Amino acid sequence: MPRPLRNIAQGSTHHIFSRCHGRRNLLQGKYGKIYFIEAINMCQEKYDFELIAAEIVANHIHLIIKTCEGKETISRIMQYTKARIAEKYNRAMGTTGAFWNERFGSTVIEEADNPEEYFLWLLWYIGYNPVRKGLSRDPRKNDIGFINCYLDKNYKPLIKITLHNYFLKLGKTFDECVKAFLFYEEAYRKRLAVYYK
């Protein structure tokens, strides 16, 4: 049975996740972070798109990417990024073979029942992913730490992050946006506390 066609809606915001082969922790440690950052930077130089969020979690990655009308598809962007990460890892380790487990999963955020709430919740879900896995104690101190871009307008990220319009609509000023955004963190933390009881 053929695979279902991927939704590559242009000009849309895609939540992407992809796991390492065999769910092994191939991205854990400083070198995984370096490969990830270098690959993202290379892709941003090559293609036109907006990187809204990005995080690594030892054996998988999460990205939120907004594609541009008439430019590269999400499939092309992810094919390039994943290939660069695999190449860097295999070259450094002197290995060959599969680095990624499967084709990446993706969801178009604008197609959710309530896209704005889903997006704001999703940012904290991704930010807290390393915390849930015991790799970090605070999303603000994760390896990539993209969440800081949404909390501090002077924050200098390791990769270029573009603030999404759904965040910017939360208030008239950046501080107002942050205040409203932190409400979603508190709601997420409460849900997390109930889950882990």
The token pair that represents 125 in the structure block: 């879900």
What is the percentage of the chain residues whose pLDDT exceeds 90?
73
Higher pLDDT, 28 or 77: 77
Q: What is the pLDDT of residues 160-185, one digit of tens each?
A: 999 999 999 999 999 999 999 999 99
Whole-structure pTM value: 0.91
The token pair that represents 78 in the structure block: 């992810």
Q: What backbone torsions phi and psi does residue 24 show, to the nearest 5 degrees?
A: -75, 155
CA 164 vs. chain centroid, Å, equals: 13
pLDDT of 194 reads 55
Q: What is the pLDDT of residues 104-128, one digit of tens each?
A: 999 999 999 999 999 999 999 999 9
What is the percentage of the chain residues whose pLDDT exceeds 70?
93
Q: Is the pLDDT of residue 87 over 80?
A: yes
The token pair that represents 161 in the structure block: 């992050």
Q: Is the pLDDT of residue 195 over 70?
A: no
Which CA distances in Å does 57 have to 32, 35, 137, 143?
A: 10, 13, 13, 9
Distance of alpha carbon 73 from alpha carbon 153, whole angstroms: 29
Distance of alpha carbon 156 from alpha carbon 42, whole angstroms: 18
Q: How confident is the model at residue 96 (pLDDT cuts 50, 70, 90)?
A: confident
Average pLDDT of the chain is 91
pLDDT of 2 reads 43
* Helix segments in 52-173, DSSP class H: 74-93, 115-132, 165-168
Q: What is the pLDDT of residues 127-138, one digit of tens each?
A: 999 998 888 999
